[in-house]
Amino acid sequence: MDIKPFLFLLLVLFSAVALYSFNKLTAHQDMVLYNNGALITQEVNNGSLELPDDVILNSIIGEDYVLHKKYPLNSYILGNEVVVKKEGRTYEGVVLMYNDNEIIIKDDTKTYIVYSPESVELKKSIPSTILKNWLNVNGKITYAISSLKWEGKSILYVDDINSKFKVGALIKNNELHNTFKGNVKLFSGTIPFYHQYFRYEMTNSINPIDKEDVELGEGHSIYSLGYMEIPSGTEIYKELNSFEPDVKRYVEFSLSPLYSTTTKGIDVFSFKALEDICPGYVDIFYKNVFVGRVNINGFVENENVILKAGLDRYVLLKQSITSRNETKTDIYLTNKINITNYANYKNEVKIEFNIYDTFKPTSLPTFCKSSGDKIICNLNVNAKSNKEFTIGLHIIKQNNYILGG
């Protein structure tokens, strides 16, 4: 990758350091973090405030402020004097044009075109008023940014004795120059952050996380984390709460009864949420082994949770169509299902056969039930063993067409 354009910009930015004189963003702030950005609230008394590079300008809320927008950097460089170096030679002059591959400068007598310069340095510093959006402000100011955000990062531990679910949050500061300090709240819910602006009033009471510190609203909840420092370019994990669920694990298969097939099942973990679970993802550990990551939209307390982790390598299902009798109006099928458990422990297995209204079971084992558009079979398969059973189906043709076939 050609780094010369980056060297050029780096030298330009370094030249502005001497004139930096704004209020730092490390001043105390109140922050509400969302999954796609954050609202920052600060108090400034008759001063100037530099805004982050990714500030959403039309989000600014305040009673008394003047916004100064940053000057386009490309336009500012044109017409300024620079020093250009390449292959041991130095060129000085006024910039007429530049891009990632070349720069054109002119001195008192000549015009130079320098291709792929090694370095470009401005002869004078750029005022920070040129490089940043900033405010003259008196009082409270609120604005939105996209670089500070959070996502749910929860962990499920499952073993034969007990299980534990940790609800957590991963806070990300993708701003490379600013450390954010202040009271932090996490907004859990889905809202149009960029398309429709909104206001959220911070409260003064912020305490460690417990049930009393989760504010419930219409379709959302808010976690109060208290005072935090979030350095630039960091990710911080915070545990919000935890509980010990009664987890049921099983291997699930979903298939059509119309075709012979051999397939592996999916590891499924099912339990009731004893606390709210925020949207994000869940890392699942079964018997101290990581078995998968599942994206979730979140769950509320007492909601049934079903997490499908990934393929189970030890349980194999084979379906064979052992008989097929067909007339102009009907088809009669007999299917043999063989399940082999190669693991050294017992596995609970759930099989869902996808059917339609024209599919009528003629014979099912006692552990199978027909329910709506599915036939559901639940059975246990001991370690290093297999089980075999058959199902019978009557399929009614519609205009000589098999629905689903």
Q: What is the DSSP string of 65-95?
A: EEEEPPPPHHHHHTTSEEEEEETTEEEEEEE
User: Nearest 5°: phi and psi at 331?
Assistant: -130, 135
CA-to-CA distance for 12 and 129, rounded, in angstroms?
14
CATH topology for 248-278+300-396 is Immunoglobulin-like (2.60.40)
> Rg (Cα) of the chain, in Å, rounded?
32
* pLDDT in the model for residue 131: 62
- Specify the domain boundaries for CATH 2.60.40 within the chain: 248-278+300-396
* pLDDT in the model for residue 229: 93
Point out which residues pair with 43 in neighbouring strands.
Answer: 140
**Alpha-helix runs per DSSP H in 23-154:** 73-77, 128-131
**How high is the mean pLDDT in each 10-residue block of the chain (405 residues)?**
45 40 55 90 86 84 82 65 88 83 86 84 66 81 90 94 94 87 86 44 34 50 90 94 95 95 96 93 93 92 94 95 92 96 95 91 96 94 97 85 53
User: Nearest 5°: phi and psi at 116?
Assistant: 45, 65
CA-to-CA distance for 273 and 165, rounded, in angstroms?
9
* pLDDT in the model for residue 45: 86
CA-to-CA distance for 335 and 371, rounded, in angstroms?
18
* pLDDT in the model for residue 219: 60
pTM higher than 0.85, yes or no?
no
* pLDDT in the model for residue 310: 87
